[in-house]
Every structure is written in C-alpha cells, then in structure tokens.
Amino acid sequence: MNTMSTMDAMNRTAAGTMRASGTVLSIRELGHVFIAKDGTARKVLDGLTLEIGAGEIASIVGRSGAGKTTLFNLISGLLRPSAGRIEIGDPGTGATGFVAYMLQKDLLLPWRTVLQNALLGVELRGAVTEEHRASAETMLARYGLGAHLGAYPAALSGGQRQRVALTRTLLTAPTILLLDEPFSALDYETRLMLEDDVLALRADRGISIILVTHDIEEAIALGDRVVVLGGQPGKIIEDISVVLTTAGRRDAVSAREAPEFRAYHRRIWAALRGGA
Ligand SMILES: Nc1ncnc2c1ncn2[C@@H]1O[C@H](COP(=O)(O)OP(=O)(O)OP(=O)(O)O)[C@@H](O)[C@H]1O
Ligand SMILES: [Mg+2]
C-alpha cells in the first residue's frame, strides 16, 4: 500500500464535524434537589450546562450516584428540574425534537411477542399503522431477529432482548436517544455488536445519542465526546472531544485500536478519580 492509499484509508472522526448542523438539546445551569420523606433536601445536580449537536454522540461517565440517571429523567421530562432550563430542538431554526429514553432494564412484556413488544412504543403514542409494522419487521430483521418475530421474550438472549428494546425505542422516530447503561449486562462480544448498531444508527439516521456508561472504553469508542460528571452535587468536571484515527469507518473494534485510545482512557480515568 503506498502512502496515499494509506492516507485514504485513514478516517478521523471529530465532534466538530458532527455539530456543524445545529443543536438538538440545550441544557443551561441545570440543578436538581431531591426532598426526602423527612423533609431534608439533597442537591444532586448543580449548574450543569451542556449542548448536544445534531447527529452527535455524547458519552457520559461518572461514579455511581453522580446523577446520570437523574439527568436523563430531567431531559425526558420524568422529573422537573429544581433550577435551570432544558430546551429540546434548535432555537436557531425553530426545529422541534423528540426524546426517546431506553432504560437500563429492557422491560419487555413477557406476554407479548417480539413484534408486539417492538410496536409497544408507537402503540402508546397512538395507532399502529401498517407502515409501523413494516418498519418494525425490517429493523428486527436487520438486528438478526427476523426469524423470532413471534417468539416471546423468555426465549431470547440478553442481546436479543436489548435489540427488541432498541427497536421499540427507535420506531418512535426520536431526534435524541438517551441510553442509560444499555449494554452493561451483556457479554463482551454482544456488547461490541450493539455498539456497532449504535454507530450505524447515527450514520444512517443522523440521530443524536447520549450514552451513559460505566465502561470507559465504550464511552470513548462511541463518543464524539466524553462528558465526565463528578462532585457532590454532580457537575461536569471534564468535557473531552474524542478524535480517533481509524482504518476505515469507526467501529467498536477499530476505535479501540486507534493510536489515541489509551491516552483518552488515561485522561478520563484520571478525571473520574479526581472528581469522586
Ligand atoms: N427519587 C429519588 N429520591 C431521592 N434521592 C434520589 C432519587 N433518585 C435518585 N436519588 C439520589 O440521587 C443521587 C443520584 O442518583 P442517580 O440515579 O442519578 O445516579 P447515577 O449517576 O445514575 O448512578 P448509577 O451509576 O449507580 O446508576 C443518588 O445519591 C441517589 O440516591
Ligand atoms: Mg443510573
């Protein structure tokens, strides 16, 4: 291979290129306080400001209890913030957005088949059309579940269940996808495959993704940036833009083989230790 073709085969992905097309989520000075039954207040998040660009993948890492799930509950509207603002959509263009939230537990209904579970999200938002059904079947087939449409969740592996849950979330056509430790219970191989699914989602549909994970490698492999939450109350202690040089398109394995990977790992680990 000559130098030119080696250069051609190299691919650098950076957050900057992804964010050019606008903002889909803007969080300003967000704070949250939980009030316990005995009336004592506990401030969990404080002064958190974060912007997510269209088609961007942001990974969030932070120790247990740092407020990651609380942040997702606030973004998705399950909780009302005690302070600050969350805007979904692009204030510049007036474009609106829709957030889909995939919880850590896949929460498939055991009495519904794979196809019926996949359609649950759209069903809850209104009537299921033939088009929904067709897209569900196409997506499930792409995830290797084409032969299991009529199967029940009990007959599926952990990875297959997560893919049904992901299909259910994606059929609602979100602008922003929130993934809270979606792959933590899975074996390494399945995890790498699902990471590739997430990267493909961004590439094919331009969807913006926020991924909460305890796995630093996963955070780097998928993220255009890695946001480190820390402190008590939790705030952003580092926001690191990830630029990886990969042979060909970035995927779960090529990202881990990038020459910059270890240095990012060290930096994030240091931030996590420092901000505990
Ligand atoms: N409903 C609630 N009422 C009171 N305190 C809460 C509530 N939900 C969460 N907390 C507290 O807020 C803090 C942040 O919780 P959160 O679930 O957001 O953490 P996390 O970063 O997602 O942790 P993990 O990595 O373990 O999932 C924790 O100390 C938790 O005990
Ligand atoms: Mg959590």
In sequence order, what DSSP letters do the residues of 19-83 get, joined into one string? GGG-EEEEEEEEEEEEE-TTS-EEEEEEEEEEEEETT-EEEEEE-TTSSHHHHHHHHTTSS--SE
* DSSP per position, 122-172: HHHTSPPPHHHHHHHHHHHHHTT-GGGTT--GGGS-HHHHHHHHHHHHHTT
Contact 143, 167 (CB under 8 A): yes
Determine the atom of ligand 1 nearest the C-alpha atom of 66: 21
Domain boundaries, position 50: 3-98+174-274
Of 49, 71, 73, which Cα lies nearest the Cα of 62? 71
pTM of the predicted model, to two decimals? 0.87
Whether residue 136 lies inside any domain: the answer is no
Whether residue 132 lies inside any domain: the answer is no
Contact 53, 15 (CB under 8 A): yes
Q: Ligand 2 centroid to 66 CA: how many Å?
A: 8
Say if residue 153 is preceded by a cis peptide, omega within 30 of 0. Answer: no
Give the CATH number for residue 180.
3.40.50.300
* pLDDT given at position 276: 57
Whether residue 131 lies inside any domain: the answer is no
* pLDDT given at position 144: 87
68 CB near ligand 1 (under 6 Å): yes
Mutation probe of ligand 1 site: the residue of 35, 61, 68, 184 with most atoms within 8 A of C-beta: 68
Cα–Cα distance between 164 and 56 in angstroms, integer?
23
Q: Ligand 1 centroid to 70 CA: how many Å?
A: 6
Whether residue 196 lies inside any domain: the answer is yes
SS3 content of the chain, % helix, strand, coil (to 5): 40, 30, 35
Whether residue 213 lies inside any domain: the answer is yes
66 CB near ligand 1 (under 6 Å): yes
Mutation probe of ligand 1 site: the residue of 32, 34, 43, 78 with most atoms within 8 A of C-beta: 34
Sign of the alpha-carbon dihedral angle for 70, 71, 72, 78:
positive
70 CB near ligand 1 (under 6 Å): yes
* pLDDT given at position 201: 86
Whether residue 126 lies inside any domain: the answer is no
Mutation probe of ligand 1 site: the residue of 59, 69, 75 with most atoms within 8 A of C-beta: 69
pLDDT in tens, the chain (276 residues): 333 333 333 444 443 344 445 899 999 999 999 998 898 999 999 999 999 999 999 999 999 999 999 999 999 999 999 999 999 987 667 677 789 898 767 689 999 999 999 999 888 888 889 999 999 999 899 888 999 999 999 999 888 898 899 899 888 888 999 999 988 878 888 889 889 989 988 898 889 999 999 999 999 999 999 999 998 899 999 999 999 999 888 999 999 999 999 999 999 999 999 865
* pLDDT given at position 22: 87
Whether residue 183 lies inside any domain: the answer is yes
Determine the atom of ligand 1 nearest the C-alpha atom of 234: 14
Total domain count for the chain? 1
Q: Ligand 1 centroid to 13 CA: how many Å?
A: 33
73 CB near ligand 1 (under 6 Å): no
* pLDDT given at position 9: 39
105 CB near ligand 1 (under 6 Å): no
* pLDDT given at position 52: 95
* pLDDT given at position 104: 67
Q: Ligand 2 centroid to 211 CA: how many Å?
A: 11
